[in-house]
Amino acid sequence: MNRIEASAHCDGPCGVYDPASARVAAEAVQSMTKKMIALEESHSADSGTASYINTMSRYAAIKEEEAHKCKEELLVLWTDFFKPIHLESNPGLHDTFWQAAKLCSACKVEVSAQHAQELMDAVEAIHNMFWAVKGREVPWIRAS
């Protein structure tokens, strides 16, 4: 009997997805959060100067932008990459993504080192789920 393989793949090429982009954005959020806290602690006497306000504003703007980018990247993974079958091996998938997206929002509105770290932890959990589904061992790395 002849043998062939038949593709039953998804709408987009699976290879285009990678949680690394969410990780980079989350790292930027954490980095900006740390810089904002450090600036306030070490230069509060200069808080009325233009250079202080400029520096703090830039940190806040980048934090806002990267937190939103992180949320977008996570939502694409959640709604496009992951499929109903993946709930069998990851029953907590929806809650993990929902909590991660909420943490993106929290990091936008707050200056919270705790929530920035929790966002990194959530992205790491999603990294692990993603590569387990793909059947590959990809170590969790950080740029910073």
Partner 1 sequence: MEKILVTIRGESMWPTLTEGQEIVAIKYHGQEIKVGQIVIFNHPFDNNVIAVKRVKVVDDGRLFVEGDNPDPTASNDSHNFGLLKQEFVIAVAV
- Residues lying near partner 1 in the complex (CB under 8 A): 1-12, 79-80, 83-85
* Cα 101–chain centre separation: 8
Nearer to partner 1, 34 or 134 (CB): 134
Distances (CA, A) of 13 to 22, 61, 65, 128, 132: 19, 33, 27, 20, 18
Nearer to partner 1, 31 or 96 (CB): 96
Q: Minimum CB separation from partner 1 for residue 139, in Å?
A: 25
Element (H, E) at 135: none
Q: Minimum CB separation from partner 1 for residue 141, in Å?
A: 28
CB atoms near residue 34 (< 10 Å): 16
- In the structure encoding, which two tokens stand for residue 12, read together? 């987009």
For residues 21 and 38, what is the distance between their CA atoms, to the nearest angstrom?
26
Q: Minimum CB separation from partner 1 for residue 82, in Å?
A: 9
Nearer to partner 1, 11 or 95 (CB): 11
| Alpha helix segments (H runs only) across 44-92 | 50-76, 86-89
Q: Minimum CB separation from partner 1 for residue 122, in Å?
A: 22
Nearer to partner 1, 41 or 88 (CB): 88
